[in-house]
Chains A and B, each alone.
Chain A
Amino acid sequence: MLAARASTRNVQRIARSFATVVDSAGVKVAAVDSNRPTTSVTFLVKAGSRFETKAGVAHGLKNFAFKSTAKRSALGTVRETELYGGLLSANLSREHLALTAEFLRGDEQYFVDVLSSFLTSAKFTRHEFEEYVTPVMQGEIELSNADPALHALELAHALAFRNGLGSSIYATPHSHLTAEDIKAFAKSAFTKDNIAVVGTGIDQDSLARLVEQSLSKISTSSAFSSSPSSYFGGETRIQGHGGPQTVFIGFGSAGAPAPELAAISAHLSTTPSVKWSKSLSPIATALPEGTSVQTVYLPYSDASLFGLLVQGPTSASVKEAGKAAVTALKSASSLKGDDLKKAVAKAKFASASATESREGLVSLLGSKVLTGSASTLEATLSSLDGVSESSVSKAASALVGAKPTFVAVGDISSLPHADELGL
């Protein structure tokens, strides 16, 4: 009852389109001006790890961002940005490389120039690769291996999708990557079809004009082709030290991500709505002390990975929590009534509140802008409205029917195997 009321109110409130996409010299530009004191501009490039030609080249490209270009040196970029008081960041996902500048209103000319000069005239010098890029890459690789949850997710992607989406965001510690490899990858990635520009706190016309000026010389044709993803699944166990015992139980599906999975993820999520209380999720009641189960729902453009990340201090507790998680996941196909309404409302709130933050808005808009379609939150919310008992049951049984992706990181002699958890 309460859930139903909350969900209808949500839809009525946010009945507006975020941004229309304009074509500015072949580059797609979208901007939202929500009267905030700062502006951000993101250049979203289809250069994620799924497109890489050599392992780790996308990771290298990300770390080459804001190094020397024909216009200014790496030091010049840093110092001048400091003088303007802005922030530059590069973020790599499996599908996109996002180059973001956040700054005060009025400084857009400089910051768009910094971002676009990386796309048009980056030098990719060997000494910068060795002196600045490689150490940071090594640090990030070590960090990803030290965090069992991150490590388990990387392994799970490799098992679930093998190539393409399966290739890791991080380079391997001993990859023979050179600045030349990265330069060649950048050359094939930085084309007009591959770039979308998303601005927040900036007027669309002025952003489109700046982009047109700065990116007019970039080549049009894209050399990229990625084969459509397919789901495989499998099991792997990796010895790990110093972190919590970790098990990831995942299921994937190829094809466009379904809203039913978001609802199931919200249903199983053990994050309580009120801090320090216990969630009403079917998993939460059966968890032993000290263990945690997180739902992981990762939608990609042509596949999605859904799973439960179980962490705990001992293998025995992880085994118990894992059993509870698998039981709950299997019974998700019989989700109905108020439970379903609650799950849909939770999923709606999650996707709506994600657009409140700048990163959430950019990631929602960006992927849509790249395909050229206008994007509204309404579309996402109404697709969640279409979730019914039968569609959830169908999606859940199709999900669980596939071969599971099982990853154990920690003390592998005592951590449970997939069949011991009832998979």
Chain B
Amino acid sequence: MPLYGPLSFSFAPQVLASKTLSRWVKPFASWYAEQSGYRKYGLKYDDLLVEERDDVQRALGRLTPAEGYERAFRLKRASQASVLHAPLPKEQWTKISEDTRYLAPHVRDVEKEDSERAMWDTISVKRK
């Protein structure tokens, strides 16, 4: 697990579990996500995950063909917009409801498998 970035430690589950905390933190979080600007280029948050990693590559292989196609389309459209030095027209911006974590659950699964493998590789067995 990296020290920072989308795949690092996150307090989001704890914040979401608490009503008071999420009421205070959520507006700031939404503002921050909007300001980071990836939605203006039609991307989803999970498109920003560092993909030059073995576990993310394996997770990418687990997307459905439709999800994989849409991801490739978003990345191409965003890089074209970047070449043109301008965000996409407003109707093509990613809506908040569309900004789903389509890849992160797969990455977590792969991480869980890797850590299970490490566990089995280093386990010391005691037979009862």
> How many A residues, CB 8 Å from partner?
9
Contact B62 A76 (CB under 8 A): no
Contacts of A126 in B (CB 8 A): 62, 64
A79, A126, A130: most-surrounded residue (chain B CB, <10 A): A79
Q: A75 contacts B62, CB within 8 Å? A: no
CA–CA, A235 and B124, complex, Å: 60
Judged by a CB distance under 8 angstroms, whether B117 is at the interface is yes
- Is A301 at the interface (CB under 8 A from chain B)? no
Write the nearest CB–CB distance from B116 to chain A, whole angstroms: 6
A89 sits at the interface (CB 8 A): no
The reply to whether A83 and B125 form a contact with Cβ atoms under 8 Å apart is yes
**What's the Cα separation between A323 and B10 when bound, in Å?**
78
B125 & A75 in contact (Cβ 8 Å cutoff): no
Complex CA gap A131/B117 in Å reads 16
Q: Is the CB of B62 within 8 A of A73?
A: no
Encode A49-81 as 1/0 by CB contact (under 8 A) with B. 000000000000000000000000101100100
Structural contact, A73 and B125, CB atoms closer than 8 A = no
Query: Does B34 reach chain A (CB closer than 8 Å)?
Result: no
Could you mark each residue 79-105 of chain A with 1 if its beta carbon is under 8 Å from any beta carbon of chain B, else 0? Answer: 100010000000000000000000000
Residues of A within 8 A of B31 (CB): none
What count of chain B residues pass the 8 Å CB interface test? 9
Minimum CB distance partner of B110 in chain A: A127
Contact of B113 among A73, A79, A83, A130 (CB under 8 A): A73
The main secondary structure of chain B at its interface with chain A is: helix
Q: How far is the CB of B108 from chain A (nearest CB, A)?
A: 13
Q: Which residues of B contact A127 (CB under 8 A)?
A: 61-62, 106
- Quick one: closest A residue to B62, CB to CB? A127
Q: Does any Cβ of A come within 8 Å of B11's Cβ?
A: no
Q: In the complex the two chains form, what is the Cα distance from A130 to B106 in whole Å?
A: 14
B61 partner residues in chain A, CB cutoff 8 A:
127, 130-131
Q: Is B120 an interface residue (CB 8 A)?
A: yes
Q: How far is the CA of A131 from the CA of B106 in the complex (A)?
A: 14
Inter-chain contact A76/B125, CB cutoff 8 Å:
no
Interface readout for B62-74 with A: 1 if CB under 8 Å, 0 if not? 1010000000000
Q: How far is the CB of A72 from chain B (nearest CB, A)?
A: 9
Bound complex: CA A76 to CA B116 (Å): 8
A127 to B103, CA, bound (A): 13
What mask results when residues 100 to 116 of chain B are scored 1 for a CB within 8 Å of chain A, else 0? 00000010000001001
Task: Write 13 A-B pairs (CB below 8 A) sorted by A numbering.
Answer: A73-B113, A73-B116, A75-B113, A75-B116, A75-B117, A76-B116, A83-B125, A126-B62, A127-B61, A127-B62, A127-B106, A130-B61, A131-B61
4 closest Cβ pairs, A-B complex: A127-B62, A79-B120, A83-B125, A75-B117
A residues adjacent to B (C-beta < 8 A): 73, 75-76, 79, 83, 126-127, 130-131
By a beta-carbon cutoff of 8 Å, the part of chain B in contact with chain A is 61-62, 64, 106, 113, 116-117, 120, 125
Contacts A126-B62, A127-B61, A127-B106 supplied; 9 other A-B pairs, CB < 8 Å = A73-B113, A75-B113, A75-B116, A75-B117, A76-B116, A83-B125, A126-B64, A127-B62, A130-B61
